[in-house]
Chains A and B, each alone.
Chain A
Amino acid sequence: MTMNRKHVLAGSACIVLMGVLLFAAFAWASNAGTDAVHQVGADMVKAGAQLGADTGVAWWVWPLVLLFFCFVLGIIAVLAGVGGGVLYVPLVSGFFPFHLDFVRGAGLMVALAGALAAGPGLLKRNFASLRLALPVALIASSCAILGAFLGMALPTNVVQLFLGITIMGIAILLLCSKNTAHPVVTKADALGIALGMNGAYNDPATGQMVEWKTHRTLPGLLMFIIIGIMAGMFGLGAGWANVPVLNLMMGAPLKVAVGTSKFLLSITDTSAAWVYLNKGCVIPLMAIPSIIGLMLGSFVGVRLLAKAKPTFIRYMVIGVLLFAGGKALLKGLGI
């Protein structure tokens, strides 16, 4: 990181901190007049809270557990080469007391935050291609809105059932798919040419410049309809689907497919996240430790990548996904 960027970051951080502290001071000073309203609200909340089981666990325990759980999840996700979102939703909905509505809202925010953080580096190195992303992003993000709407409208057990099937399908896909580093694309199709889906990047591993183009563009774009709907419905990041479609179907080199996929998530998940946010499905108490935990875990995971055995961890993750998917399936069936 250059000194200029460090200074700008530090400056931005100071300004943000000062602004929030000033805001907090103002809010604290003005809170005196809202105590009555707050008390009324608290009484009503207590009266209705009989619906929720009081487990006797202090309120801060679950956010703290979530923070550490997501930290570990972030490390594992990087080592296994899967997105944090695809692990977050099935595992948190299966083993934590949060309703699926809030898990999906938080899951989208987690996937979004990860994609936003990774995006700049990928774009600058040209591993993520705007030219490849823009057309598919429009389709996926539009369909993610539809998926989010469907996911909120369907009964929870039905969503759990479909989630379980999807997660198990993802596990099998991860097990069976063999991505190709440099797919052979003999000729770009007319749609690919019209959309300008081509480019080049400097591969640091070989030191060579790799030019690429795509084919099977229309079937690929149609696949993103399904991907977008699923991402919105289940609150999953869609990297598990983006990469095979971009790489195996459309012929983008693996590094471009992975980089563009990660960047694509920031657009697809944004549209779905807004729907869940507007519907009240994001509870900060659980969403923010999830985001921060996963982000910190991802940083550590990147540093451990050189020393870890990714293949073993990948198989372990596939096993965990099969288990979590089965659990969601049984939950959806009411078993």
Chain B
Amino acid sequence: MSDQIKVTGKASDEQITYANMLFYGSWSGLGLMAVTYLLYVFGIITPHIPLDQVPLMWSQPVGTYLELGHVPTGWGWTVLILKGDFLNFLGIVLLAAMTIVCYIPLIPAFLKRKELVFAGLALAEILVLMFAASGIVGGGGH
């Protein structure tokens, strides 16, 4: 970090960039989520699982919900994007993806200042989050 930034106590340029991207992205995600939810609960878009059936399954383990509701795992929900319930995943995924998106500009910013450690940390974090997002990590439902 440059001495200029340290002395003034102000946030670095990359920190400000991160903040701005996070601001617009996360509020867009929340807005989208609110809109798609209204479309879902008011029945404007037909859901994959009828609304009155969901409460019968949300008290059951996730494995039962997946089986009875024929709910795909991983990125399989994209096939059902035209369904009211899975349309909500657009906003949810946007929120979940924001951190990955915001991390990307950090790498060139740190490389420019020859802060290789932080550039490496940013790259590693992107890889970790993409690994989590990919659906490769599996675990048994019960």
Contact = CB atoms under 8 A, between A and B. Distances in A.
Interface of A: 8-9, 12-13, 16-17, 20, 23-24, 26-28, 30-31, 34-35, 38, 41-42, 44-46, 48-49, 51-55, 57-60, 62-63, 97-99, 101-102, 109, 112-113, 116-117, 119-121, 123-126, 130-131, 134-135, 137-138, 141-142, 145, 148-150, 152-156, 194-196, 198-202, 209-211, 266-267, 270-275, 277-289, 291-292, 295
B58 A102 contact: yes
A101 B62 contact: yes
Contact of A196 (B49, B74, B87, B115): B115
A137 B71 contact: no
B45 interface: yes
A23 B118 CA distance: 41
A138 B128 contact: yes
11 contacts: A20-B32, A31-B82, A38-B46, A52-B57, A52-B59, A54-B56, A116-B98, A130-B106, A210-B9, A277-B92, A285-B85
A20 B28 CA distance: 12
B75 to A, nearest CB: 8
Contacts of A8: 24
Nearest to B140: A153
Interface string B39-66: 1110011101111111111111110111
Given A124-B19, A288-B88, A138 B60 contact: no
Chain B binding site: helix, strand, loop or mixed by DSSP?
helix
A210 B10 CA distance: 11
A206 to B, nearest CB: 12
Interface in B21-41: 22-24, 26-37, 39-41
B78 interface: no
Given A41-B48, A284-B89, A284-B92, A99 B6 contact: no
A270 B96 contact: yes
Contacts of A34: 46, 82
Contacts of A97: 55, 58-59
Contacts of A57: 55
Contacts of B106: 130
Given A49-B53, A126-B9, 16 more contacts: A41-B69, A49-B56, A49-B57, A102-B58, A116-B99, A125-B11, A196-B117, A198-B1, A200-B6, A200-B8, A266-B98, A279-B141, A283-B65, A284-B85, A284-B86, A285-B51
Interface string B68-86: 1111111100000010011
Among A17, A137, A141, A274, max chain B CB count under 10 A is at: A274
Contact of B37 (A141, A210, A288): A288
A196 B51 contact: no
A134 B132 contact: no
A120 B20 contact: yes
Contacts of B10: 126, 202
